[in-house]
Chain A
Amino acid sequence: MGRNPTTLLRKFHQARWDEPIILEMSTPGERGVLVRQAEKAVQTEVGDGLSAIPAGLRRTTSPQLPEVNQVRVLRHFMHLSQETMGTDVTIDISQGTCTMKYSPKVQEHIATRHPGMADVHPWQPESTMQGLLEVIYKLDHFLREISGLDRFTFQPGGGAQGVYTGASMVRAYHAARGDRDRSEVITTMFSHPCDSAAPATAGFKIITLMPDKMGYPDVAALRAALSERTAAIFITNPEDTGIYNPRIQEYVQAAHEAGALCYYDQANANGMLGIARAKEAGFDLCHFNLHKTFSVPHQCMGGSVGAVGVREDLAKFLPVPTVEFDGRQYFLNYEASASIGKIRSFFGNPQSMLKAYAWIMQHGADGLREAAECSVLNNNYLEKKLSEVPGVSVHYAADKRKLEQIRYSWEKLFQDTGVGTEDVMRRMADYGLQHYWMSHPPWIVPQPFTLEPCESYSKDDLDEYAAVLRQISKEAYEDPELVKTAPRNQVVHKVPEPSIDEPERIAVTWRQYLKKK
């Protein structure tokens, strides 16, 4: 019993419940929960209430929702949660660029359960929300210090929406200058795809710079791409490869000379807290993903905040409302004539802002810096361990120090054994590890995988992780079919066709599936 002390491998098996789809679990007449009925006196006054609904709008056939008793519903979703490998249960170094750090339970409990958060209505009078507004106000000031920029908004519901907000502000900025020609945005191949997709949504043409042989975006290409049509450059640094571009200032200067703004996608900020900031590099706008760097949980791709910061002269374009303090009270300011308006309803995800606030309050300047340093140390340590695993290589800047994540390659393994990154990805779950993330398309690095051992992971965790990859490499060389037919100890077996693009195979709801069976 217990993890093998030498190999560090576990005899893991994921919970496998053979769980049906909830719509298959219906028993006519069963109730999952009973709901409040109107009082008799109310019924006397207004009748059944339904005759008020105009004839053409009355629902005549019941929705075909399943009828399941509460016990079974609970059990069903508990099974599904057991069949999910959240960061709480695994060494999640796997989801590189996502910064899967520990979401402290103390802040989780308060943010979800305290009625002063859970039961607050966004339209409540501001005098009744002072605690909430104080959190937002202070978080704004923390991020100003951390980034060096002057004002933050927390309205965007995620990093991509943050980039979209930035692009909207860039659009407003040039319009206010009377410059109608700024139709292009420049980004790089290794920046997040949202750095091109979100500005494109805001109406810009996108020019992408290809990486040079070292993996940096090509400076000469940038100069060739800059013109009086350039509205802004949108880049991530360090990029997804984990390489910090030391010439970043040159980029920013070149862009400014062309009259363009510079947006800093700080999804990969975790290694740089307290060490390098957007301001010193010259950026005009930036965003942080609160669910990455600032410990807000990832929530099955949900509930986050893309905190967008700007220089003072761009603050007038921020979405409304902003949170301000008049000396006595915190208030929501909707008066911003140059504002881009709104990106999202209300003022963002306050419970997530509270968690980020709590995390910063618990660590302080020294703690943030410690987090950054340890994440970089972890990454370099893991790189060293993986350099001993046959078949692994680092595609770019192999001789340079990387920051908090690295994009590796299994190209050699693939050439030697025919086992590729997707096979390894499936197999690792048999050892209790979350599938690693490979790369954004296009796959410039062949057979890629991107790992980010942020500061939440101990040396022992890193050793175990490396041990698993070493084991799978061994399996690939000795018995490739074992890896290629993985997973074996998981909830389900391999899906041979995970990309579904024939119309006849598309079934995104149970009813669609039944119709096509």
Chain B
Amino acid sequence: MKKLGLVVNPVAGMGGRVGLKGSDGPDILRRARELGAVPESPCRAMQTLQVISRIKPQIEVITYPHEMGEDEARRSGFSPAVIGSITMGATTAADTQRAAREMENQGVDLILFAGGDGTARDVYQAVGQRVPALGIPSGVKIHSAVYAVTPRHAGEVAVRYLEGKLSLQEAEVMDIDEEAFRAGTVSAKLFGYLRVPEERRFVQRAKSGGIRAERETLVGIASDVIDNMIPECLYLVGPGTTTRVIMQELALANTLLGVDVVCNKRLVASDANERDLVRRLSGRRAMIVLSVIGGQGYILGRGNQQLSPAVIRTVGKENIIVVATKEKLVSLDGRPLLVDTGDEEIDRMLSGYIQVTTGYRDYCMVRVAS
């Protein structure tokens, strides 16, 4: 019997409908309610549950009380096991975190959470990579890649995962500075990676061409970068799961969320900050290796701010290597890769086209915009 954990953040997305950005903090929440905002996530969660109900006999649903999941589950025809306690109408981030932790203790196979970036961060903080999780979109604009495309889709993915048909992939949880966001600027940082059930869009039908699994492609990408490494040259390896494979293939310690510096295939610095990088770059030949962060396709400005305009200017556009699988590029759906360094001149310099390494001796020509 599979166990499905359900956490609904009832206040997520309330700001969005009335023109406020984000819904963190009791002040914003009160303002939103004053403006007539109603909770979004409950009905989204129910759309998801409706899809899941077709495997109702095979699963046990574990959820939090009242508006944090119990109501939605019962209204969708489930008889959930309800754990924990909350203060109705006054739920907070702490509740989400507690719920996730307690579900982990209950041994759930998957945590479904309805909310926004904040909710994703809360779940991650609570369980890290120990429990697979999947987001039901209900917030405003979501930067984290842990969400399904639609609530229905979340249901489909959850069902397939619980049936054992999907494997897990790491997806970015982003930390948005909500205040800055409300003021109109996006300042995002890579917060962590949740393990999320992966829908294989990449179905292999070999009529011609070749049969490859994603892991091998990643190793191929890493091999290409490594085989072309120039002696004495510094390699600033940015955050992300694709660049991580490079470090793994070199058998070096990797900072998933930070920038590591490699030279002559040895580790020179771990999780370097901007000042450190600028210092090391002085008078040295250097290259930057970038992953594509998240669903929007950022290569700079969303979690690798250590690679500041100064760093980039010193290294130079021609010494930037971008690594990504073809599937990642395809998921951009025709949109370009994005840069947002905070420096318009640098952004302009980086715009145009860049050759992305997509395999061993295999590349893609992709547009970059700011």
Chain A residues proximal to chain B, CB less than 8 Å: 98, 159-160, 186, 189, 192-194, 196-197, 200, 204-213, 218, 220-222, 224-225, 415, 418, 422, 437-444, 446, 496-497, 499, 501
Contact A222 B365 (CB under 8 A): yes
Give Cα distance in the complex from A208 to B209, angstroms. 14
Contact A225 B334 (CB under 8 A): no
Q: Given A422-B203, A441-B203, A442-B327, A206 and B361 touching (CB < 8 A)?
A: yes
- For the complex, is B58 an interface residue (Cβ under 8 Å from A)? no
Give Cα distance in the complex from A63 to B12, angstroms. 69
Contact B353 A443 (CB under 8 A): no
- For the complex, is B71 an interface residue (Cβ under 8 Å from A)? no
Q: How far is the CB of A293 from chain B (nearest CB, A)?
A: 16
- For the complex, is B205 an interface residue (Cβ under 8 Å from A)? yes
Hey, which chain A residues are within 8 Å of B362, CB to CB?
196, 200, 205-206, 208
Give Cα distance in the complex from A422 to B153, angstroms. 16
Give Cα distance in the complex from A194 to B207, angstroms. 9
Q: Given A196-B362, A213-B334, A442 and B209 touching (CB < 8 A)?
A: no
Contact B208 A225 (CB under 8 A): no
Can you spell out 27 A-B residue pairs with CB atoms less than 8 angstroms apart?
A189-B330, A192-B208, A193-B208, A193-B209, A193-B210, A194-B209, A197-B208, A205-B361, A207-B364, A208-B326, A208-B362, A208-B363, A209-B365, A210-B364, A210-B366, A218-B365, A218-B367, A225-B355, A415-B152, A418-B152, A422-B203, A438-B203, A440-B207, A440-B209, A442-B202, A443-B330, A496-B165
Q: How far is the CB of A245 from chain B (nearest CB, A)?
A: 16
Query: Contact flags (1/0) for B203-215 with A, using CB distance below 8 Å?
Result: 1110111100100
Give Cα distance in the complex from A206 to B357, angstroms. 10
- For the complex, is B341 an interface residue (Cβ under 8 Å from A)? no
Contact A208 B364 (CB under 8 A): yes
Hey, which chain A residues are within 8 Å of B208, CB to CB?
159-160, 192-194, 197, 440
Hey, which chain A residues are within 8 Å of B361, CB to CB?
200, 204-206
- For the complex, is B156 an interface residue (Cβ under 8 Å from A)? yes
**Nearest 9 A-B pairs (CB), nearest first?**
A193-B209, A224-B353, A221-B365, A225-B365, A205-B361, A194-B208, A442-B330, A207-B363, A213-B334
Hey, which chain A residues are within 8 Å of B213, CB to CB?
501
Contact B353 A206 (CB under 8 A): no
- For the complex, is B352 an interface residue (Cβ under 8 Å from A)? yes
Give Cα distance in the complex from A443 to B201, angstroms. 6
Give Cα distance in the complex from A316 to B366, angstroms. 37
Interface residues of B in 184-216 (CB under 8 A from A): 201-205, 207-210, 213
Q: Which listed residue (B204, B210, B330, B353) contacts A221, Cβ 8 A? A: B353
Contact A418 B156 (CB under 8 A): yes
Hey, which chain A residues are within 8 Å of B352, CB to CB?
224
Give Cα distance in the complex from A206 to B165, angstroms. 33
Find the residue from A194, A207, A437 having the highest chain B CB count within 10 A: A207
Contact A210 B204 (CB under 8 A): no
Q: Give the number of chain B interface residues (Cβ < 8 Å).
A: 32
Give Cα distance in the complex from A440 to B330, angstroms. 13
Give Cα distance in the complex from A218 to B364, angstroms. 11
Q: How far is the CB of B298 from chain A (nearest CB, A)?
A: 17
Give Cα distance in the complex from A212 to B335, angstroms. 8
Hey, which chain A residues are within 8 Å of B358, CB to CB?
208
Hey, which chain A residues are within 8 Å of B367, CB to CB?
210, 218, 220-221
Q: Nearest A residue to B334 by beta-carbon distance?
A: A213
Give Cα distance in the complex from A446 to B208, angstroms. 20
Hey, which chain B residues are within 8 Å of A192, CB to CB?
208-209
Give Cα distance in the complex from A175 to B181, angstroms. 57
Q: How far is the CB of B93 from chain A (nearest CB, A)?
A: 32
Contact A441 B204 (CB under 8 A): yes
Contact A437 B366 (CB under 8 A): no
- For the complex, is B329 an interface residue (Cβ under 8 Å from A)? yes
- For the complex, is B51 an interface residue (Cβ under 8 Å from A)? yes
Give Cα distance in the complex from A189 to B353, angstroms. 16
Q: How far is the CB of A165 from chain B (nearest CB, A)?
A: 15
Contact B355 A207 (CB under 8 A): yes
Hey, which chain B residues are within 8 Å of A205, CB to CB?
361-363
Contact A441 B51 (CB under 8 A): no
Q: How far is the CB of B201 from chain A (nearest CB, A)?
A: 5
Give Cα distance in the complex from A212 to B364, angstroms. 13
Hey, which chain A residues are within 8 Å of B330, CB to CB?
189, 210, 442-444
- For the complex, is B150 an interface residue (Cβ under 8 Å from A)? yes
Find the residue from B156, B202, B203 having the highest chain A CB count within 10 A: B203
For the complex with contacts A207-B363, A221-B365, A415-B153, 12 further pairs of A-B residues with Cβ separation under 8 Å are A98-B207, A193-B208, A206-B362, A218-B365, A225-B353, A225-B355, A422-B203, A437-B207, A441-B202, A442-B326, A442-B330, A443-B201
Interface residues of B in 84-129 (CB under 8 A from A): none
Give Cα distance in the complex from A437 to B208, angstroms. 13
Q: Nearest A residue to B51 by beta-carbon distance?
A: A418
Query: Contact flags (1/0) for B295-332 with A, using CB distance below 8 Å?
Result: 00000000000000000000000000000001101100
Contact B205 A441 (CB under 8 A): yes
Give Cα distance in the complex from A470 to B19, angstroms. 43
Q: Which listed residue (A206, A213, A220, A437) contacts B205, Cβ 8 A? A: A437
Give Cα distance in the complex from A210 to B365, angstroms. 7
Q: How far is the CB of B350 from chain A (nearest CB, A)?
A: 13
Hey, which chain B residues are within 8 Å of A439, CB to CB?
205
Hey, which chain A residues are within 8 Å of B202, CB to CB?
441-443
Q: Which listed residue (A98, A197, A501) contacts B209, Cβ 8 A? A: A197
Give Cα distance in the complex from A352 to B45, angstroms. 59
Hey, which chain A residues are within 8 Å of B326, CB to CB?
189, 208, 442
Give Cα distance in the complex from A211 to B326, angstroms. 12
Q: Nearest B residue to A203 by beta-carbon distance?
A: B361
Hey, which chain B residues are within 8 Å of A221, CB to CB?
353, 365-367
Find the residue from B150, B202, B208, B352 having the highest chain A CB count within 10 A: B208
Hey, which chain B residues are within 8 Å of A206, CB to CB?
361-363
Find the residue from A160, A224, A501 having the highest chain B CB count within 10 A: A224
Q: Nearest B residue to A214 by beta-carbon distance?
A: B334
Give Cα distance in the complex from A418 to B165, angstroms. 15
Give Cα distance in the complex from A221 to B363, angstroms. 12
Q: How far is the CB of B100 from chain A (nearest CB, A)?
A: 27
Q: Given A205-B362, A213-B334, A196 and B209 touching (CB < 8 A)?
A: yes
Interface residues of B in 138-173 (CB under 8 A from A): 150, 152-153, 156, 165
Give Cα distance in the complex from A272 to B205, angstroms. 27
Give Cα distance in the complex from A222 to B367, angstroms. 11
Give Cα distance in the complex from A499 to B213, angstroms. 11
Hey, which chain B residues are within 8 Å of A225, CB to CB?
353, 355, 365
Give Cα distance in the complex from A214 to B50, angstroms. 36
Hey, which chain A residues are within 8 Å of B152, CB to CB?
415, 418
Q: Nearest A residue to B328 by beta-carbon distance?
A: A442
Contact A211 B353 (CB under 8 A): no
Q: How far is the CB of B189 from chain A (nearest CB, A)?
A: 28
Hey, which chain A residues are within 8 Å of B153, CB to CB?
415
Hey, which chain A residues are within 8 Å of B363, CB to CB?
205-208
Hey, which chain A residues are within 8 Å of B207, CB to CB?
98, 437, 440
Interface residues of B in 229-259 (CB under 8 A from A): none
Hey, which chain B residues are within 8 Å of A212, CB to CB?
334
Give Cα distance in the complex from A222 to B353, angstroms. 10
Q: How far is the CB of A477 from chain B (nearest CB, A)?
A: 14
Q: How far is the CB of A191 from chain B (nearest CB, A)?
A: 10
Q: Nearest A residue to B152 by beta-carbon distance?
A: A415
Q: Nearest A residue to B358 by beta-carbon distance?
A: A208
Give Cα distance in the complex from A439 to B326, angstroms. 15
Q: Nearest B residue to A501 by beta-carbon distance?
A: B213
Q: Nearest A residue to B200 by beta-carbon distance?
A: A499
Q: Nearest A residue to B209 by beta-carbon distance?
A: A193
Give Cα distance in the complex from A213 to B367, angstroms. 12
Q: How far is the CB of B224 from chain A (nearest CB, A)?
A: 9
Q: How far is the CB of A186 from chain B (nearest CB, A)?
A: 8
Give Cα distance in the complex from A222 to B207, angstroms. 27
Contact A438 B205 (CB under 8 A): yes
Q: Nearest B residue to A159 by beta-carbon distance?
A: B208
